[in-house]
């Protein structure tokens, strides 16, 4: 295999000599390091900027060098844990790979400083660590550095000697014996010089690695398939080579299997036929396949659906049984059919969702999909006061947080995730339109093909006025409308947005992602979202899907029924927070947020007094979730003492009701003892 690598490099170099580059001829032709740079470009290690140019004389940042080296070494992408690396950055996976390898490190406070320019000393240290990583030693005892005194570290001194002796980096001055050099540790390297370093690293590795003898073709191991007719039998399983393996003994009943399982020191799971029923320790997830959501029911009879969850996403295990699994999704406790849930023992994988605060004060949520085996990440809002920057936290509902030991550390409601959609944004149509142009220009500048031409073609351009009209006439927050559109339509650049003017994924289901309602214009899509969803079944109290007029999670708000993604509401919240922050933070923490605290139905009044004439609307009875704290969210605008002696809160009314003059009744009153404040700090 390593012989093949050397041969491949030789062939590639020959091809490059025979076939001149066309796309970068003017830019690269005549460079001293033209050959090395063309080699690295052809291999996809060094890439052009958004305009397609290489800019060979540009300085190289730490982030760029990490990406180049990760590609050179073919390291698998990883999620970076540095607090200043945006997880959605194009090179985040490569920085994560370099971090995991230990080849590049960050500061003591968890920063990577990706934009900091790479000095020659840092490049030498990194290259020397890469040499050590591949297990090759270099004798550099005879090398003398004339400028050793100006190096920042002893490691830098030793690294400079190693990379020079290896022929990977040169000195700025070298004596004829090639043992005394001036290195210039503080100097900066250009992109063509970095290309030369990486090209020499490849040649060095190919030269020094031992040839690999091709192994004999392995035979496929026999898979532990139950014998015919054993589908109704139970078997224990162990973990072997990171996979579940069935044991031979069979049990006639689930109870017998459980008894053997609980006393076995090696068993990790119980199967019925090919179906995994339980594990000793690990995670549960929606079984899939991809695009098939798992339904959460209210009881083991599977008669009433509570919510549903995207394939591959995490669920909490509360109870195992022969015919169901009791789970937690969000703060909702429910029951899942065995054919819609799967498990992974911790001895096979420890990957799972987590939250972490970065040095910029942002709360990031890393989500893991057990079917794609990949992480995703997004920012929600500011880091809660009880969290430490750089420390991982865990939560089923994005509200109640635990530390790594499973200890409860705090409760936090991200503001926009639980702010009433009946409130109005402070931003004008003009401000929204300006922001839209700004954000799509940023997307286009990433160079990603999906955002090509965004500044001219995005379907959300110029929608500010219509969004504000809908907010005024139908009482749905404009910032919420815009954020939902940006999220669902990928900033107006999704296929459904282009082909169907569908900005909200309306009637686009997990099982048929290519489907979706078609609209004459993007404005008609906004109208449908507001009138057919927000103001029909989702936001109006008493309607089938009404769990609160907020983005929410899988227990509260639109997210319960609108999207299978359990973090849809949190992602909308993140869009709202980032958009608000970019426009001046006029909306954030503007209102005091609270929740209802009773399971029974609850009346909201037109004034702080109880009588048949003051009834505005009624919240339906509801389960408060596993925490007992998941009531209907409300946004408080003022309070006063009623004639009954109670404190009453004036809140935005979830209902869309008009008074006798045809004016919206924007506010209602709730008795103070029936609500509890939310912590948004």
Ranges of CATH 1.10.530.10 domains, the chain: 429-583
With contact defined as beta carbons under 8 Å apart, do 381 and 574 qualify? yes
- pLDDT for position 513: 65
Q: Is the pLDDT of residue 447 over 70?
A: yes
- pLDDT for position 2: 39
Q: Is the pTM of this model over 0.75?
A: no
Q: Which CATH architecture group holds 429-583?
A: Orthogonal Bundle (1.10)
- pLDDT for position 4: 41
With contact defined as beta carbons under 8 Å apart, do 423 and 390 qualify? no
Ranges of CATH 2.30.30.40 domains, the chain: 592-677
Q: Is the pLDDT of residue 16 over 60?
A: no
Q: What is the pLDDT of residues 660-669, one digit of tens each?
A: 898 999 999 9
Q: What is the pLDDT of residues 60-110, one digit of tens each?
A: 999 999 999 999 998 888 888 888 888 888 898 899 889 888 899 888 778
Residues found in the chain: 681
Task: Provide the token pair at 169.
Answer: 């980096």
Q: Is the pLDDT of residue 12 over 90?
A: no
- pLDDT for position 210: 42
Q: What is the DSSP string of 116-163?
A: SBPBHHHHHHHHHHHHHHTT-----TT-EETTGGG-S-HHHHHHHHHH
**DSSP-derived pairing of the beta strands 180-182 and 144-145:** parallel
User: What is the spatial distance between Cα 78 and Cα 84, in angstroms, rounded to a whole number?
Assistant: 15
User: What is the spatial distance between Cα 275 and Cα 278, in angstroms, rounded to a whole number?
Assistant: 9
- pLDDT for position 223: 34
What is the pLDDT of the chain when averaged over all its residues? 89
Q: Which of 19-33, 133-147, 281-295, 408-422 has the highest mean pLDDT?
A: 408-422
With contact defined as beta carbons under 8 Å apart, do 237 and 268 qualify? yes
Residue 66 buriedness (CB in 10 A; 0-12 / 13-18 / 19+): buried
At 193, phi and psi to the nearest 5? Answer: -70, -40
- pLDDT for position 492: 97
592-677 domain in CATH 2.30.30.40? yes
3-state class (DSSP) for residue 650: strand
- Is residue 549 very low, low, confident or very high in pLDDT (cuts 50, 70, 90)? very high
Task: Provide the token pair at 152.
Answer: 């920042």
Mapped to the 3 state alphabet, what secondary structure does 274-311 carry? Answer: CEEEEECCEEEEECCCCCCCEEEECCCCCCCEEEEECC
Measured from the Cβ of residue 368, the count of other Cβ atoms closer than 10 Å reads 20
- pLDDT for position 224: 36
34, HSE (Cβ side, Cα atoms, 13 Å): 13
**Chain-centroid distance, C-alpha 292:** 20
- pLDDT for position 446: 87
- pLDDT for position 230: 66
Q: Is the pLDDT of residue 226 over 70?
A: no
Omega before 230 within 30 of 0, i.e. cis = no
Alpha-carbon torsion (499, 500, 502, 503), positive or negative: positive
Share of the chain above pLDDT 70, in %: 92
Share of the chain above pLDDT 90, in %: 65
Q: What is the pLDDT of residues 487-534, one digit of tens each?
A: 999 999 999 999 999 999 998 775 666 678 899 999 999 999 999 999
- pLDDT for position 9: 43
Q: Is the pLDDT of residue 386 over 70?
A: yes
């Amino acid at each position: 295999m390593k012989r093949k690598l050397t041969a491949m490099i030789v062939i590639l170099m020959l091809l490059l000599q025979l076939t001149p580059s066309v796309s970068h001829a003017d830019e690269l032709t005549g460079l001293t390091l033209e050959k090395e740079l063309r080699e690295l470009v052809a291999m996809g290690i060094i890439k052009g900027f958004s305009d397609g140019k290489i800019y060979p004389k540009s300085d190289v940042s730490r982030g760029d060098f990490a990406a180049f080296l990760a590609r050179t070494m073919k390291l698998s992408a990883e999620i970076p844990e540095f607090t200043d690396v945006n997880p959605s950055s194009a090179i985040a996976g490569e920085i994560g790979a370099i971090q995991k390898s230990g080849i590049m490190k960050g500061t003591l406070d968890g920063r990577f400083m990706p934009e900091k320019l790479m000095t020659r000393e840092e490049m030498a240290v990194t290259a020397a660590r890469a040499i050590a990583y591949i297990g090759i030693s270099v004798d550099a005892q005879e090398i003398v550095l004339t400028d050793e005194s100006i190096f920042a570290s002893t490691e830098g001194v030793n690294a400079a000697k190693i990379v020079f002796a290896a022929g990977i980096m040169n000195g700025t001055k070298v004596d004829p014996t090639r043992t005394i050099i001036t290195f210039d540790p503080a100097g900066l390297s250009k992109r063509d010089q970095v290309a030369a370093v990486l090209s020499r690293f490849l040649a060095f590795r190919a030269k020094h690695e031992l040839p690999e003898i091709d192994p004999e073709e392995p035979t496929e191991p026999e898979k532990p398939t139950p014998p015919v007719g054993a589908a109704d039998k139970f078997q224990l399983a162990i973990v072997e080579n990171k996979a579940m393996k069935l044991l031979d003994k069979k049990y006639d009943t689930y109870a017998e299997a459980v008894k053997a399982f609980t006393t076995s020191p090696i068993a990790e799971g119980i199967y019925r036929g090919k179906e995994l029923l339980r594990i000793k320790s690990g995670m549960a997830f929606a079984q899939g396949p991809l695009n098939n959501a798992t339904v959460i029911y209210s009881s083991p009879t599977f008669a009433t659906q509570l919510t549903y969850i995207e394939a591959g996403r995490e669920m909490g295990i509360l109870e195992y049984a022969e015919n169901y699994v009791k789970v937690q999704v969000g703060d909702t406790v429910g029951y899942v059919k065995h054919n819609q849930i799967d498990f992974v023992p911790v001895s096979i994988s420890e990957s799972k969702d987590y939250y972490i605060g970065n040095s910029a004060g942002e709360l990031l949520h890393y989500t893991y999909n057990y079917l794609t085996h990949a992480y995703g990440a997004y920012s929600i809002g500011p880091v809660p006061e009880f969290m430490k920057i750089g420390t991982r936290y865990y939560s089923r509902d994005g509200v109640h947080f635990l530390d790594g030991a499973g200890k409860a550390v705090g409760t936090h409601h991200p503001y926009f995730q639980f702010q009433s959609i009946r409130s109005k944004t402070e931003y004008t149509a003009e401000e929204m339109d300006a922001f839209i142009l700004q954000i799509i220009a940023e997307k286009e500048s990433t160079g990603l093909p999906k955002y090509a031409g965004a500044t001219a073609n995005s379907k959300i351009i110029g929608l500010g006025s219509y969004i504000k009209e809908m907010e005024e006439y139908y009482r749905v927050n404009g910032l919420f409308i815009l954020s939902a559109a940006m999220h669902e339509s990928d900033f107006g650049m999704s296929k459904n947005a282009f082909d169907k003017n569908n900005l909200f994924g309306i009637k686009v289901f997990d099982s048929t992602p290519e489907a979706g309602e078609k609209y004459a214009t993007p404005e008609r899509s906004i109208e449908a979202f507001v009138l057919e969803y927000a103001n029909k079944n989702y936001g109006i109290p008493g309607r089938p899907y009404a769990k609160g007029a907020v983005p929410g999670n899988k227990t509260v708000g639109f997210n319960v029924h609108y999207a299978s993604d359990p973090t849809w509401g949190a992602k909308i919240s993140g869009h709202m927070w980032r958009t608000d922050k970019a426009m001046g933070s006029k909306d954030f923490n503007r209102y005091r947020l609270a929740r209802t605290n009773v399971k029974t139905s609850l009346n909201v009044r037109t004034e702080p007094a109880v009588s048949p004439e003051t009834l505005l609307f009624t919240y339906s009875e509801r389960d408060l979730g596993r925490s007992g704290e998941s009531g209907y969210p409300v946004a408080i605008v003022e309070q006063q003492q009623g004639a009954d002696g109670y404190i009453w809160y004036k809140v935005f009314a979830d209902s869309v009701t008009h008074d006798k003059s045809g004016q919206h009744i924007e506010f209602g009153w709730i008795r103070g003892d029936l609500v509890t404040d939310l912590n948004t700090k």
